[in-house]
Every structure is written in structure tokens, then in C-alpha cells.
Amino acid sequence: MSLQYIIDAYNLVNHPQFKPAKQSVNIVYALVNFIKLNQLIGSKNNKAVLVFDGFPPANQEIPEVDGLTCVFSYEIEADESIKRMVEACAYPKNIIVVSDDKQVKLMSKILNAQVLGVEEFICGKNDRKLSFKQELDANDPKLNYAQMHKVNEELKKKWLK
């Protein structure tokens, strides 16, 4: 049985695990790559719809990737678009709505869809490690918080026995 993920895209964009390399990067492409690279929707048979508020970015193509679609809510809120998608589905139990918005979660449960918070969607129950292809400058030795934490933990194991 394949699943259909309906993802409140800006909730995912604002999660601390999602950090595009540069501010000028196309956020839609970055999010699609993040989901694909980390296999967040699981099986290749599963599908995902990223629902963005507003209109598509001007002069930027919207990525078309197998199993992953980006939609924009235009003049209505993304929350309303998500609600309509769930209502239109013949088998809402096969839908997983990913959002941190309480109203979206409640409405999805009422419509018999499954619900995941963004943290659980990204990190899962096993708190798996994620990767994000960042464009790193070879001369920039800065570590991100996760990398610093990992180094500190390794040093603690060696030096604080």
C-alpha cells in the first residue's frame, strides 16, 4: 500500500534541520532535494505533495520529481488547500499530513488522515541522522551546531572516562 504525504511546506522550511547552503538558493528546489536525499517519504511508491502558501516564485521553475509535487495555494492559505486535498481523497487513511499547525492536525484527524509533526517526519522515531548537500567553501572551516556537538561527544568519550 503506497502512502500520500501532504506536507505543509513552510513548516518544514522553518525547521532547524533544514538549512539551505545559501540564502539565495531556490527554497523549493532545496526542500525537494532535502526530502529526496534523506528519503523522508520512504518507499519509492509513496508520493508527496509540498503545499506552499501564496504564488510560485517569479522567474523560477518548479521542480518536477518522480513522486514529489509542489503546489501553491495562490489566494487561499496553504492550510485550506491541505484540507481540500484531504477531503477530496477517497481513502484518507492512506494520507499522512505533515504539519505543526494545530488546526491542520485536528482537521486532518477528523477527516481520518494520519498526522505527523515536522520533527517526527524529519527525524523519525529513531532520530536518524540527516544530510543536506551544502555548497561549502573549501576555505571555510566552520562547523555547524550538529557537527560541533558530535565532535564534543567524541572528545568527552576519550577524555572524560
Per-residue DSSP letters for 69-136?
EEEE-TTS-HHHHHHHHHHH-S-GGGEEEE---HHHHHHHHHTT-EEE-HHHHHHTTTT---------
Q: Does domain 4-133 have CATH number 1.10.150?
A: no
The pTM (predicted TM-score) of the whole model is: 0.74
Q: What is the pLDDT of residue 110?
A: 95
Residue 4: the pLDDT is 96
Q: How confident is the model at residue 60 (pLDDT cuts 50, 70, 90)?
A: confident
Give residue-wise pLDDT tens across range 3-53. 999 999 999 998 888 877 656 578 888 899 889 888 999 888 999 999 999
Q: What are the grid coordinates assigned to 97, written together? A: 499530513
CA-wise closest residue to 64 among 24, 18, 27, 29: 29
The pLDDT of residue 127 is 52
**pLDDT (tens digit per residue) in 111-122:** 999 999 999 999
